[in-house]
Structure 1
Amino acid sequence: MSRRYDSRTTIFSPEGRLYQVEYAMEAIGNAGSAIGILSKDGVVLIGEKKVTSKLLQTSTSSEKMYKIDDHLVQSLCDTKQGYTQFGGLRPFGVSFLFAGWDKNHGGNYGGWKAAAVGANNQAAQSILKQDYKEDATREEAVELALKVLSKTMDSTSLTSEKLELAEVFLTPSGSVKYHVHSPDSLTKLLLKHGVTQPAAESS
């Protein structure tokens, strides 16, 4: 039945549904989880890595976390919006979490104190609604992000190879810093917050 109404993004079904948009949302749900949490002194971003090969050079590549210019953010949002307004164009099957620091809040925008996208995002949103605190520090936000991901990922135990963790915050000098945690730093955080098992010692 849906085949009569899913050829274009501008054709509504009798139930008022846009199937092409729903297909794009379904594609997003198949991606790895990503979570963003706002704290009183910064923003914490964490993402699940799907590609975990030992041959991958992690020092120069990233699966989910990228530092980009604010002009690219604006241009990308304009492009995504355009694909929802013109017929014959498939909407992007992708979702983004943008984190930034700006004193001038001019223009029209919407911000979230905590958000989750990707696989099991509904379960992640439910935990965030229950446990999020507006006065949380960055360290507490990191703990919450790890907790949420540990409860929503399909893996039984989190490891540094399966995660990417980044923080955006203001330095004492007033500049905005984007910091990505190394695998060693991630391992220490996972052990500290009890969401992974220490490696077994070889006899």
Structure 2
Amino acid sequence: MSWQYDSRTRIFSPEGSLYEVEYDKDGVVLAAEKRFTFKRLATLNSTEKMYKIDDHVVCAVAGIMADANIRINCARLSAQRYTLAYQEPMQVKQLGQSLCDTKQGYTRFGGLWTFGMLFLFAGYDKNFGFQLHLSNPNGNYGD
């Protein structure tokens, strides 16, 4: 009966584990803050920080939104092409890695604009369950 022990966020079970950590194994949550410097400015829908890539993948963005919008559209297109070709959804890790490959390619040559944004991909696939992956501006990738 865990309800006797976990009425607060940092409570240890009789076995010595944190219930807060045990509960976090069943999903991924992404949150974004939208900041406004001037209260009198109208809100724009183009400054979203959370995007749906496919039915099983979402993405949180930090950085230059013009660059992010281009890469988000490419990620959506990649996911749709994969689904069309293989009749199953693209794995979250594979989607993140393909985007990182493109971003890293822009860092190799002079005269190309490197993408100035960071992505957090969260999603679910049948092989690996819930996942969270990071894509840095320079093309580095992390789980």
TM-score in terms of structure 2 length:
0.36
Higher relative contact order (CA 8 A, sep 6+): 1
Q: Which protein is richer in strand relative to its size?
A: 2
TM-score in terms of structure 1 length:
0.27
